[in-house]
A and B are shown apart, each in its own frame.
Chain A
Amino acid sequence: MTENTAAKHELRVRPIENGTVIDHISAGQALNVLKILEIPGSSEGVVSVVMNAAGAHGKKDVVKIEGRELNVREVDRISLIAPNATINIIRNFKVLQKKKVHIPEYIEGVVRCMNPNCISNTMEPVNSKFDVTSEKDRILLRCKYCERVISENIAEHLL
Protein backbone atom coordinates (compact mmCIF):
# COMPACT_ATOMS: atom_id res chain seq x y z
CA MET A 1 0.00 0.00 0.00
CA THR A 2 1.30 3.49 -0.80
CA GLU A 3 1.14 6.44 1.56
CA ASN A 4 -1.59 7.89 -0.52
CA THR A 5 -4.09 5.04 -0.33
CA ALA A 6 -3.37 4.58 3.36
CA ALA A 7 -4.21 8.21 3.94
CA LYS A 8 -7.48 7.90 2.06
CA HIS A 9 -8.33 4.89 4.19
CA GLU A 10 -7.88 6.92 7.38
CA LEU A 11 -10.27 9.55 6.15
CA ARG A 12 -13.16 7.12 6.19
CA VAL A 13 -13.48 7.83 9.90
CA ARG A 14 -14.36 11.43 10.18
CA PRO A 15 -12.84 13.51 12.99
CA ILE A 16 -15.08 14.41 15.89
CA GLU A 17 -15.42 17.89 17.29
CA ASN A 18 -16.36 17.01 20.86
CA GLY A 19 -16.61 13.57 22.36
CA THR A 20 -14.54 10.58 23.36
CA VAL A 21 -12.10 8.27 21.58
CA ILE A 22 -11.55 4.91 23.22
CA ASP A 23 -8.23 3.76 21.80
CA HIS A 24 -6.07 0.63 22.19
CA ILE A 25 -9.06 -1.63 22.82
CA SER A 26 -8.04 -5.32 22.76
CA ALA A 27 -8.74 -6.48 19.20
CA GLY A 28 -12.19 -8.04 18.95
CA GLN A 29 -13.66 -6.20 21.92
CA ALA A 30 -15.06 -3.08 20.16
CA LEU A 31 -18.59 -4.44 19.98
CA ASN A 32 -18.49 -5.34 23.65
CA VAL A 33 -17.39 -1.80 24.43
CA LEU A 34 -20.46 -0.59 22.52
CA LYS A 35 -22.57 -3.00 24.55
CA ILE A 36 -21.21 -1.57 27.81
CA LEU A 37 -21.99 1.94 26.58
CA GLU A 38 -25.45 0.79 25.43
CA ILE A 39 -24.83 2.01 21.92
CA PRO A 40 -26.98 2.42 19.89
CA GLY A 41 -29.71 3.80 22.09
CA SER A 42 -27.84 5.90 24.63
CA SER A 43 -26.04 8.35 22.32
CA GLU A 44 -27.36 10.85 19.82
CA GLY A 45 -24.05 11.55 18.08
CA VAL A 46 -22.22 9.62 15.40
CA VAL A 47 -20.29 6.61 16.59
CA SER A 48 -17.49 5.09 14.55
CA VAL A 49 -15.76 1.81 15.13
CA VAL A 50 -12.38 0.75 13.78
CA MET A 51 -11.55 -2.90 14.14
CA ASN A 52 -8.24 -4.67 13.70
CA ALA A 53 -6.27 -1.47 13.23
CA ALA A 54 -2.50 -1.80 13.46
CA GLY A 55 -1.41 -0.61 16.90
CA ALA A 56 2.02 -0.36 18.48
CA HIS A 57 1.53 -3.78 20.12
CA GLY A 58 -0.37 -5.71 17.43
CA LYS A 59 -3.97 -5.28 16.40
CA LYS A 60 -6.36 -3.03 18.28
CA ASP A 61 -9.90 -1.72 18.02
CA VAL A 62 -10.91 1.93 18.37
CA VAL A 63 -14.33 3.42 19.21
CA LYS A 64 -15.09 7.11 18.61
CA ILE A 65 -18.21 8.69 20.04
CA GLU A 66 -19.42 12.14 19.15
CA GLY A 67 -20.86 14.29 21.93
CA ARG A 68 -20.40 12.00 24.89
CA GLU A 69 -18.12 11.61 27.89
CA LEU A 70 -17.97 8.41 29.92
CA ASN A 71 -18.68 7.99 33.59
CA VAL A 72 -16.55 6.05 36.09
CA ARG A 73 -18.81 3.02 36.06
CA GLU A 74 -18.53 2.74 32.27
CA VAL A 75 -14.76 3.13 32.32
CA ASP A 76 -14.44 0.48 35.07
CA ARG A 77 -16.42 -1.95 32.97
CA ILE A 78 -14.38 -1.21 29.85
CA SER A 79 -11.16 -1.79 31.80
CA LEU A 80 -12.21 -5.39 32.46
CA ILE A 81 -12.47 -6.31 28.79
CA ALA A 82 -9.87 -3.89 27.42
CA PRO A 83 -7.24 -3.41 30.12
CA ASN A 84 -4.93 -1.43 27.83
CA ALA A 85 -7.53 1.00 26.53
CA THR A 86 -7.02 4.76 26.70
CA ILE A 87 -9.88 7.22 27.06
CA ASN A 88 -9.22 10.39 25.04
CA ILE A 89 -11.51 13.32 25.62
CA ILE A 90 -11.82 15.36 22.43
CA ARG A 91 -12.66 19.07 22.61
CA ASN A 92 -12.66 21.22 19.55
CA PHE A 93 -11.12 18.40 17.44
CA LYS A 94 -8.15 18.10 19.81
CA VAL A 95 -7.21 15.57 22.45
CA LEU A 96 -7.89 17.52 25.63
CA GLN A 97 -7.17 14.73 28.07
CA LYS A 98 -5.85 11.18 27.77
CA LYS A 99 -6.22 8.58 30.49
CA LYS A 100 -5.32 4.93 30.58
CA VAL A 101 -8.15 2.89 32.02
CA HIS A 102 -7.57 1.90 35.61
CA ILE A 103 -8.42 -1.66 36.58
CA PRO A 104 -10.38 -1.54 39.84
CA GLU A 105 -9.34 -3.90 42.65
CA TYR A 106 -12.92 -4.70 43.52
CA ILE A 107 -16.18 -4.53 41.60
CA GLU A 108 -19.73 -4.74 42.80
CA GLY A 109 -22.82 -5.38 40.67
CA VAL A 110 -20.80 -5.39 37.44
CA VAL A 111 -20.61 -9.02 36.39
CA ARG A 112 -22.65 -12.09 37.17
CA CYS A 113 -20.95 -15.04 38.90
CA MET A 114 -20.69 -17.97 36.50
CA ASN A 115 -21.43 -20.47 39.24
CA PRO A 116 -25.17 -21.17 38.91
CA ASN A 117 -25.21 -22.40 42.50
CA CYS A 118 -23.65 -19.22 43.93
CA ILE A 119 -25.71 -17.38 46.55
CA SER A 120 -25.27 -14.17 44.49
CA ASN A 121 -27.35 -15.77 41.70
CA THR A 122 -30.46 -16.11 43.82
CA MET A 123 -33.26 -13.83 45.05
CA GLU A 124 -31.06 -12.72 47.95
CA PRO A 125 -30.77 -8.92 48.26
CA VAL A 126 -27.06 -8.73 47.42
CA ASN A 127 -24.96 -7.44 44.53
CA SER A 128 -22.37 -9.68 42.96
CA LYS A 129 -18.94 -8.86 44.38
CA PHE A 130 -15.56 -9.71 42.88
CA ASP A 131 -11.93 -9.13 43.71
CA VAL A 132 -10.03 -8.21 40.57
CA THR A 133 -6.45 -9.24 39.89
CA SER A 134 -4.43 -9.18 36.70
CA GLU A 135 -1.96 -11.80 35.65
CA LYS A 136 0.11 -10.78 32.62
CA ASP A 137 -2.55 -9.58 30.15
CA ARG A 138 -5.32 -11.57 31.77
CA ILE A 139 -7.88 -10.29 34.20
CA LEU A 140 -9.10 -12.64 36.91
CA LEU A 141 -12.32 -12.01 38.82
CA ARG A 142 -12.84 -13.99 42.01
CA CYS A 143 -16.34 -14.11 43.47
CA LYS A 144 -16.38 -12.81 47.05
CA TYR A 145 -19.08 -15.30 47.91
CA CYS A 146 -18.28 -18.63 46.26
CA GLU A 147 -14.67 -17.93 45.17
CA ARG A 148 -15.27 -19.10 41.59
CA VAL A 149 -12.87 -17.38 39.19
CA ILE A 150 -13.86 -15.83 35.87
CA SER A 151 -10.83 -15.60 33.62
CA GLU A 152 -12.24 -15.71 30.12
CA ASN A 153 -14.96 -13.99 28.10
CA ILE A 154 -15.64 -11.48 30.83
CA ALA A 155 -17.85 -9.53 28.40
CA GLU A 156 -20.35 -12.38 28.42
CA HIS A 157 -20.79 -12.09 32.17
CA LEU A 158 -21.36 -8.33 32.34
CA LEU A 159 -24.62 -7.42 34.01
Chain B
Amino acid sequence: MIDHILNTAEKLEPIARGKEISTLLAGKVLMLLFFEPSTRTRMSFETAMIRLGGSVMNLGSVEASSIAKGETLADTIRVVEGYADAIVLRHPKEGSARMASEFSSVPVINGGDGAGHHPTQTFLDLYTISRESHLEGAKIALAGDLKYGRTVHSLCYALSLYGAEITMVSPKELRMPAEIISDLKRLDIKVKQTDSIEEVIGDVDVLYVTRIQKERFPDPDEYHKVATSLQITPELLENARPQLKIMHPLPRINEIDPRVDYTPHACYYRQSFYGVPVRMALLSLVLGALE
Protein backbone atom coordinates (compact mmCIF):
# COMPACT_ATOMS: atom_id res chain seq x y z
CA MET B 1 0.00 0.00 0.00
CA ILE B 2 2.68 2.53 1.04
CA ASP B 3 4.98 1.25 -1.71
CA HIS B 4 2.18 1.60 -4.22
CA ILE B 5 1.72 5.26 -3.24
CA LEU B 6 5.46 5.90 -3.48
CA ASN B 7 5.69 4.19 -6.90
CA THR B 8 2.73 6.16 -8.16
CA ALA B 9 4.35 9.38 -6.96
CA GLU B 10 7.48 8.57 -8.90
CA LYS B 11 5.47 8.00 -12.10
CA LEU B 12 3.76 11.37 -11.63
CA GLU B 13 6.97 13.28 -10.97
CA PRO B 14 7.36 14.63 -14.54
CA ILE B 15 3.87 16.14 -14.25
CA ALA B 16 4.76 17.59 -10.85
CA ARG B 17 7.77 19.25 -12.47
CA GLY B 18 5.62 20.71 -15.25
CA LYS B 19 7.43 18.62 -17.90
CA GLU B 20 4.23 16.86 -18.87
CA ILE B 21 0.67 18.14 -18.98
CA SER B 22 -2.04 16.03 -17.36
CA THR B 23 -5.84 16.01 -17.43
CA LEU B 24 -6.07 13.05 -15.06
CA LEU B 25 -8.31 14.88 -12.58
CA ALA B 26 -10.05 17.21 -15.05
CA GLY B 27 -13.48 18.19 -13.78
CA LYS B 28 -12.69 17.14 -10.20
CA VAL B 29 -12.94 19.57 -7.31
CA LEU B 30 -10.80 19.37 -4.17
CA MET B 31 -11.97 21.23 -1.07
CA LEU B 32 -9.27 22.50 1.26
CA LEU B 33 -10.63 22.90 4.78
CA PHE B 34 -7.80 24.39 6.79
CA PHE B 35 -8.83 25.43 10.27
CA GLU B 36 -5.24 26.21 11.14
CA PRO B 37 -2.55 28.10 9.31
CA SER B 38 -0.41 26.11 6.90
CA THR B 39 1.47 27.20 3.84
CA ARG B 40 3.38 24.19 2.58
CA THR B 41 0.75 21.51 2.99
CA ARG B 42 -1.94 23.74 1.58
CA MET B 43 0.06 25.02 -1.36
CA SER B 44 1.41 21.64 -2.33
CA PHE B 45 -2.10 20.15 -2.33
CA GLU B 46 -3.28 23.04 -4.51
CA THR B 47 -0.37 22.61 -6.89
CA ALA B 48 -0.86 18.84 -7.00
CA MET B 49 -4.54 19.20 -7.89
CA ILE B 50 -3.94 21.89 -10.51
CA ARG B 51 -1.08 19.98 -12.14
CA LEU B 52 -3.46 17.07 -12.61
CA GLY B 53 -6.04 19.29 -14.30
CA GLY B 54 -8.41 19.53 -11.32
CA SER B 55 -9.71 22.53 -9.42
CA VAL B 56 -9.37 23.66 -5.84
CA MET B 57 -11.88 25.30 -3.51
CA ASN B 58 -10.92 26.92 -0.26
CA LEU B 59 -12.62 27.42 3.04
CA GLY B 60 -11.46 31.01 3.14
CA SER B 61 -11.03 32.75 6.41
CA VAL B 62 -12.48 30.95 9.40
CA GLU B 63 -13.40 34.24 11.09
CA ALA B 64 -15.75 35.24 8.27
CA SER B 65 -17.40 31.85 7.93
CA SER B 66 -20.27 29.94 9.48
CA ILE B 67 -17.70 28.19 11.69
CA ALA B 68 -17.22 31.44 13.55
CA LYS B 69 -20.96 31.32 14.20
CA GLY B 70 -20.47 28.04 16.04
CA GLU B 71 -21.16 25.49 13.34
CA THR B 72 -19.90 22.03 14.19
CA LEU B 73 -17.26 20.38 12.02
CA ALA B 74 -19.77 17.60 11.34
CA ASP B 75 -22.20 20.12 9.81
CA THR B 76 -19.47 21.86 7.82
CA ILE B 77 -18.47 18.50 6.36
CA ARG B 78 -22.08 17.53 5.52
CA VAL B 79 -22.40 20.76 3.56
CA VAL B 80 -19.07 20.83 1.74
CA GLU B 81 -19.17 17.18 0.69
CA GLY B 82 -21.86 18.39 -1.68
CA TYR B 83 -19.42 20.83 -3.27
CA ALA B 84 -16.39 18.65 -3.81
CA ASP B 85 -15.05 15.27 -4.86
CA ALA B 86 -12.57 15.08 -1.99
CA ILE B 87 -11.72 17.06 1.13
CA VAL B 88 -8.38 17.84 2.75
CA LEU B 89 -8.84 18.70 6.42
CA ARG B 90 -6.37 20.42 8.72
CA HIS B 91 -7.91 20.86 12.16
CA PRO B 92 -6.56 21.53 15.67
CA LYS B 93 -8.37 18.61 17.35
CA GLU B 94 -6.97 15.08 17.38
CA GLY B 95 -9.22 12.62 15.58
CA SER B 96 -10.98 15.33 13.57
CA ALA B 97 -10.23 13.77 10.18
CA ARG B 98 -11.49 10.38 11.30
CA MET B 99 -14.66 11.95 12.59
CA ALA B 100 -15.08 13.98 9.38
CA SER B 101 -14.88 10.80 7.34
CA GLU B 102 -17.90 9.45 9.25
CA PHE B 103 -19.96 12.39 7.98
CA SER B 104 -18.63 12.54 4.45
CA SER B 105 -19.51 10.46 1.42
CA VAL B 106 -16.43 11.80 -0.39
CA PRO B 107 -12.89 10.89 0.71
CA VAL B 108 -11.35 12.94 3.52
CA ILE B 109 -7.56 13.31 3.58
CA ASN B 110 -6.01 14.15 6.94
CA GLY B 111 -3.87 17.24 6.44
CA GLY B 112 -2.87 17.28 10.12
CA ASP B 113 -5.06 16.81 13.21
CA GLY B 114 -3.65 18.70 16.17
CA ALA B 115 -0.93 16.72 17.91
CA GLY B 116 -2.23 13.61 16.14
CA HIS B 117 -1.13 12.66 12.66
CA HIS B 118 0.04 14.32 9.50
CA PRO B 119 0.14 11.31 7.21
CA THR B 120 0.85 13.10 3.94
CA GLN B 121 4.00 14.53 5.54
CA THR B 122 5.01 10.99 6.51
CA PHE B 123 4.46 9.78 2.95
CA LEU B 124 6.58 12.57 1.55
CA ASP B 125 9.32 11.87 4.07
CA LEU B 126 9.34 8.21 3.08
CA TYR B 127 9.31 9.18 -0.58
CA THR B 128 12.28 11.49 -0.03
CA ILE B 129 14.25 8.75 1.71
CA SER B 130 13.48 6.28 -1.06
CA ARG B 131 14.38 8.76 -3.83
CA GLU B 132 17.48 10.22 -2.22
CA SER B 133 18.78 7.24 -0.27
CA HIS B 134 17.10 3.88 0.38
CA LEU B 135 14.27 2.81 2.66
CA GLU B 136 15.10 -0.85 3.25
CA GLY B 137 17.35 -1.14 6.31
CA ALA B 138 18.23 2.56 6.24
CA LYS B 139 20.45 3.91 9.00
CA ILE B 140 18.75 7.08 10.04
CA ALA B 141 19.30 9.66 12.77
CA LEU B 142 16.46 11.87 13.98
CA ALA B 143 17.73 15.03 15.63
CA GLY B 144 16.13 17.91 17.50
CA ASP B 145 12.80 18.03 19.29
CA LEU B 146 11.80 14.38 19.38
CA LYS B 147 9.34 14.83 22.23
CA TYR B 148 6.73 17.13 20.71
CA GLY B 149 7.47 16.70 17.00
CA ARG B 150 4.63 14.61 15.61
CA THR B 151 6.43 14.42 12.25
CA VAL B 152 9.22 12.31 13.72
CA HIS B 153 6.79 10.18 15.73
CA SER B 154 4.83 9.10 12.66
CA LEU B 155 8.05 8.72 10.69
CA CYS B 156 9.47 6.26 13.26
CA TYR B 157 6.47 3.97 12.93
CA ALA B 158 6.59 4.20 9.16
CA LEU B 159 10.34 3.44 9.10
CA SER B 160 9.76 0.42 11.30
CA LEU B 161 8.02 -1.20 8.32
CA TYR B 162 11.31 -1.07 6.45
CA GLY B 163 13.59 -2.41 9.17
CA ALA B 164 15.37 0.88 9.70
CA GLU B 165 18.07 1.43 12.32
CA ILE B 166 17.12 4.59 14.16
CA THR B 167 19.31 6.80 16.33
CA MET B 168 17.50 9.44 18.37
CA VAL B 169 19.60 12.55 18.93
CA SER B 170 18.10 15.07 21.33
CA PRO B 171 18.71 16.94 24.57
CA LYS B 172 17.31 15.00 27.51
CA GLU B 173 14.42 17.48 27.85
CA LEU B 174 13.22 16.59 24.37
CA ARG B 175 13.67 12.82 24.23
CA MET B 176 11.45 10.59 22.13
CA PRO B 177 8.48 9.48 24.31
CA ALA B 178 9.20 6.20 26.08
CA GLU B 179 6.04 4.53 24.67
CA ILE B 180 7.32 5.07 21.15
CA ILE B 181 10.75 3.68 22.00
CA SER B 182 9.20 0.57 23.51
CA ASP B 183 6.81 0.17 20.57
CA LEU B 184 9.79 0.28 18.21
CA LYS B 185 11.74 -2.24 20.26
CA ARG B 186 8.72 -4.50 20.25
CA LEU B 187 8.76 -4.22 16.46
CA ASP B 188 12.41 -5.39 16.53
CA ILE B 189 13.76 -2.06 15.41
CA LYS B 190 17.30 -1.16 16.49
CA VAL B 191 17.02 2.07 18.45
CA LYS B 192 19.78 4.12 20.08
CA GLN B 193 19.48 7.34 22.04
CA THR B 194 22.14 9.99 22.48
CA ASP B 195 22.53 13.73 22.92
CA SER B 196 25.61 13.98 20.74
CA ILE B 197 25.29 14.57 17.04
CA GLU B 198 29.08 14.15 16.54
CA GLU B 199 28.80 10.58 17.77
CA VAL B 200 26.42 9.49 15.01
CA ILE B 201 27.20 11.72 12.05
CA GLY B 202 29.74 9.31 10.51
CA ASP B 203 27.40 6.37 10.74
CA VAL B 204 24.12 7.24 9.05
CA ASP B 205 22.60 7.44 5.57
CA VAL B 206 19.94 9.97 6.50
CA LEU B 207 19.88 12.73 9.09
CA TYR B 208 16.39 14.10 9.75
CA VAL B 209 16.59 17.42 11.58
CA THR B 210 13.62 19.08 13.30
CA ARG B 211 13.19 22.48 14.81
CA ILE B 212 13.66 23.04 18.53
CA GLN B 213 11.19 25.59 19.76
CA LYS B 214 12.42 28.27 22.11
CA GLU B 215 9.16 28.03 24.06
CA ARG B 216 10.10 24.55 25.26
CA PHE B 217 12.86 26.03 27.42
CA PRO B 218 12.09 28.31 30.35
CA ASP B 219 15.72 29.48 30.37
CA PRO B 220 16.91 31.23 27.15
CA ASP B 221 20.56 30.36 27.90
CA GLU B 222 19.67 26.70 28.13
CA TYR B 223 17.84 26.91 24.81
CA HIS B 224 20.85 28.53 23.21
CA LYS B 225 23.20 25.87 24.55
CA VAL B 226 21.04 23.01 23.33
CA ALA B 227 20.36 24.59 19.94
CA THR B 228 24.05 25.21 19.33
CA SER B 229 25.08 21.72 20.36
CA LEU B 230 22.76 20.21 17.75
CA GLN B 231 23.48 22.65 14.94
CA ILE B 232 24.45 21.08 11.62
CA THR B 233 27.52 22.79 10.15
CA PRO B 234 29.90 22.02 7.29
CA GLU B 235 32.58 21.31 9.92
CA LEU B 236 30.42 18.65 11.52
CA LEU B 237 29.76 17.15 8.11
CA GLU B 238 33.45 16.58 7.42
CA ASN B 239 33.03 13.27 9.21
CA ALA B 240 29.84 12.31 7.40
CA ARG B 241 29.44 9.55 4.84
CA PRO B 242 29.62 11.03 1.33
CA GLN B 243 26.12 9.74 0.56
CA LEU B 244 24.56 11.23 3.73
CA LYS B 245 21.31 13.09 3.02
CA ILE B 246 19.99 15.75 5.36
CA MET B 247 16.23 16.28 5.62
CA HIS B 248 14.16 18.90 7.43
CA PRO B 249 10.37 19.43 7.33
CA LEU B 250 10.96 23.22 7.13
CA PRO B 251 10.71 26.00 8.09
CA ARG B 252 14.23 25.91 9.41
CA ILE B 253 15.47 28.57 11.83
CA ASN B 254 19.09 27.93 12.69
CA GLU B 255 19.28 24.17 13.17
CA ILE B 256 21.09 23.92 9.85
CA ASP B 257 23.84 26.37 8.97
CA PRO B 258 22.94 27.98 5.58
CA ARG B 259 26.38 26.96 4.27
CA VAL B 260 25.12 23.36 4.39
CA ASP B 261 22.54 24.22 1.70
CA TYR B 262 25.34 24.17 -0.89
CA THR B 263 26.67 20.75 0.05
CA PRO B 264 25.51 17.55 -1.70
CA HIS B 265 24.07 16.45 1.63
CA ALA B 266 21.25 18.99 1.69
CA CYS B 267 17.99 17.60 0.34
CA TYR B 268 15.36 19.57 2.26
CA TYR B 269 14.26 21.72 -0.67
CA ARG B 270 13.79 18.66 -2.84
CA GLN B 271 11.99 17.08 0.11
CA SER B 272 9.44 19.88 0.10
CA PHE B 273 9.06 19.56 -3.69
CA TYR B 274 8.38 15.83 -3.26
CA GLY B 275 5.25 16.84 -1.37
CA VAL B 276 3.72 17.61 -4.77
CA PRO B 277 4.12 14.21 -6.51
CA VAL B 278 3.21 12.40 -3.28
CA ARG B 279 0.00 14.41 -2.90
CA MET B 280 -0.71 13.95 -6.62
CA ALA B 281 -0.46 10.21 -6.08
CA LEU B 282 -2.79 10.31 -3.07
CA LEU B 283 -5.35 12.44 -4.89
CA SER B 284 -5.32 10.27 -8.03
CA LEU B 285 -5.74 7.15 -5.93
CA VAL B 286 -8.50 8.39 -3.59
CA LEU B 287 -10.39 9.92 -6.52
CA GLY B 288 -10.18 6.64 -8.40
CA ALA B 289 -8.34 8.12 -11.40
CA LEU B 290 -5.53 5.63 -10.88
CA GLU B 291 -5.73 2.13 -9.49
Give me the interface of A with B, judged by CB distance under 8 Å: 115, 117-120, 122-126, 143-148
Contact = CB atoms under 8 A, between A and B. Distances in A.
A119 B72 contact: no
B55 to A, nearest CB: 28
Nearest to A145: B95
Contact of A117 (B73, B93, B99): B93
Contact of A126 (B94, B102, B113): B102
B107 interface: no
14 contacts: A115-B94, A119-B93, A119-B94, A119-B95, A119-B96, A119-B99, A122-B93, A124-B72, A124-B99, A126-B99, A145-B94, A146-B95, A147-B94, A147-B95
Interface of B: 72-74, 91-96, 98-99, 102, 113-116
Contacts of B96: 119, 145
A118 B93 contact: yes
A126 B114 contact: no
Nearest to B70: A123
Contacts of B72: 123-125
A59 to B, nearest CB: 31
A119 B94 CA distance: 6
A147 B98 CA distance: 11
Contact of B95 (A123, A125, A143): A143
A126 B77 CA distance: 14
Contacts of B92: 117
Contacts of B94: 115, 117-119, 145-148
Contacts of A146: 94-95, 113, 116
> Nearest 8 pairs between A and B by C-beta?
A145-B95, A146-B94, A146-B95, A119-B95, A119-B93, A119-B96, A119-B99, A124-B72
Nearest to A123: B72
A124 B70 CA distance: 11
Nearest to A143: B95
A125 B74 contact: yes
Taking chain A's interface residues, is the majority helix, strand, or loop, or is none over half, making it mixed?
Answer: loop
Contacts of A144: 95, 98
A119 B73 contact: yes
Nearest to A148: B94
A144 B94 CA distance: 11
B74 A124 contact: yes
A123 to B, nearest CB: 6
Contacts of B93: 117-119, 122
Contacts of A148: 94
A135 to B, nearest CB: 12
A25 B99 CA distance: 35
Given A119-B91, A124-B73, A144-B98, 11 more contacts: A118-B93, A119-B98, A119-B113, A120-B95, A120-B99, A124-B74, A126-B99, A126-B102, A146-B113, A147-B95, A148-B94
Max chain B Cβ within 10 angstroms of own Cβ: one of A115, A120, A146, A147: A146
A124 B115 CA distance: 19
A145 B98 contact: yes
Nearest to A113: B95
A5 B259 CA distance: 86
B99 A145 contact: yes
A125 B102 CA distance: 11
B123 to A, nearest CB: 18
Contact of B74 (A115, A126, A145): A126
B163 to A, nearest CB: 24
A147 B73 CA distance: 19
Nearest to B94: A146
A147 B119 CA distance: 14
A148 B95 CA distance: 10
Contacts of A123: 72
Contacts of B116: 146-147
A148 B116 CA distance: 10
A119 B113 CA distance: 9
A4 to B, nearest CB: 53
